[in-house]
Amino acid sequence: MNVCEFSFAGQRFGALPSGALWWPERQLLCVSDLHLGKSERVARRGGATLPPYDSHETLDRLAGDLEHTKAETVVCLGDSFDDLEAARTLPVTEGLRIATLQAGRQWIWIEGNHDPGPIELGGAHLFEWPCDPIVFRHIAQGDMRGEISGHYHPKAQIRLKGRSITRPAFLLDSDRLILPAYGTFTGGLRCTDQALADLMGADAMAILTGPRPHMIPMPR
């Protein structure tokens, strides 16, 4: 597996092709914005019918990353479910799949704006989790160095061989790291959007996901 390695808050990390973050020193895998149950939630609220395989595909990808890294700790950075009802009505097969992935691991659910309450699954459910010198939370607050968050579903656009390519991307500056959305059907916000342009420092970089993750200056 191709991994883009980089330094943040004095630690070595790896950006995986899938959009997961690997912290080898802590044997920790971090993912953000799984949005499990999105197709069910959209249908329940009268929206467009989406193929009902998004959660299965997302969990398959997560299982592959866990198999590759042998992670001992998993941190899900919020919006793991598209809403609390999606968590409560998760199909039995998917609940069992999550339980299988959790077995033998420390598993931390960070509270998101889509799932702002306890979920009836294994693991710890926290508002944020400090793990020195890092703090994991859902939405960047910019009140300290070493902040790892999600929420924005960042994407970056580049031109390659005369054509434009847009991919989910990690955003990184000296103080904060924002992960791309990990889930299927999650969409994204281009890093040229004012919300991200204002949040990220002048030295910010983007790591584009895909078969060969690579780092570029964050487009603005």
**Residues 190-213: tens digit of each pLDDT:** 999 999 999 999 999 999 999 999
Confidence of residue 14 (pLDDT cuts 50, 70, 90): very high
pLDDT confidence of residue 143: 76
Residue 130 corresponds to which tokens in the numbers above?
């400090």
Between 185 and 144, the higher pLDDT residue:
144
Confidence of residue 53 (pLDDT cuts 50, 70, 90): low
Per-position DSSP letters for the chain, written without gaps between them = ---EEEEETTEEEEE-TTS-EEEGGGTEEEE----BTHHHHHHHTT-----TTHHHHHHHHHHHHHHHH--SEEEE-S--BSSHHHHHT--HHHHHHHHHHHTTSEEEEEP-SSS-S--SSSSEEES-EEETTEEE-SS---SSSSEEE-SS-EEEEEEETTEEEEEEEEEE-SSEEEPPP-STT---EETTSHHHHHHS-TT-EEEE-SSS-EEEEPP-
Q: Which long-range contacts (CB under 8 A, 24 or more apart) does 117-121 make?
A: 117/84, 119/80, 119/81, 119/84, 119/87, 120/87, 120/88, 121/87, 121/95
**Residues 69-113: tens digit of each pLDDT:** 999 999 999 998 866 665 677 787 888 999 999 999 999 999 988
pLDDT of 38 above 60:
no
**Residues 153-174: tens digit of each pLDDT:** 999 988 777 788 899 999 999 9
pLDDT of 47 above 60:
no
User: Alpha-carbon distance 40 to 45, whole Å?
Assistant: 9
Confidence of residue 55 (pLDDT cuts 50, 70, 90): confident
pLDDT confidence of residue 118: 63
Confidence of residue 48 (pLDDT cuts 50, 70, 90): low
- Pick from 88, 152, 77: nearest CA to 120: 88
Confidence of residue 136 (pLDDT cuts 50, 70, 90): very high
Name all domains of the chain by residue range, CATH numbers in brackets. 4-214 (3.60.21)
pLDDT confidence of residue 138: 96
Beta strand 176-178 with 147-149 is parallel
Asked if 142 and 176 touch (Cβ cutoff 8 Å), the reply is yes
